[in-house]
A = this chain, B = another copy of it.
Amino acid sequence: MSVYTPAEVVEETGFSIDTLRYYEKIGLLAPVDRNSAGQRRFSEDDLGWLGTIRCLRDTGMPIAEMLRFAELVRAGDHTIADRIALLEEHDRRVRDQIDNLAERQRYIHNKISYYRSVL
């Protein structure tokens, strides 16, 4: 089981070290293992979880809701139905976001066409 230094995790996840500490502080990341000097050593599992966080964050999920999800994950297998419900709800919002963006994009395209026509 390999471990990762903060610098490696920054490199792999794209989160800043401050953000990683912040996520741990608020409990979005479970307490990370430390070496004898008290420095963080992230596990493979931490990396996987950070990947999930990245995905949820980048699709606009607020931290408060990611925290709820994190709690469900920590609570064990009996919360899987709840996790599905949470992700499905989020998925609907992502779909709405995409539809909305596509709709607005048409407006932008029209605007560009209009400007081109008066050049």
Contacts and interface: CB of A to CB of B under 8 A. Distances in A.
A98 B104 contact: no
Contacts of A88: 112
A55 B101 CA distance: 9
Identical copies in the complex: 2
A111 to B, nearest CB: 6
A13 interface: no
B115 A80 contact: yes
A45 interface: no
A58 interface: yes
Interface stretch (A4-12, A14-22, A31-39, A89-97): A89-97
B111 A105 contact: no
Interface string A92-119: 0011011011101101110110011011
B87 A115 contact: yes
A98 to B, nearest CB: 5
A63 interface: no
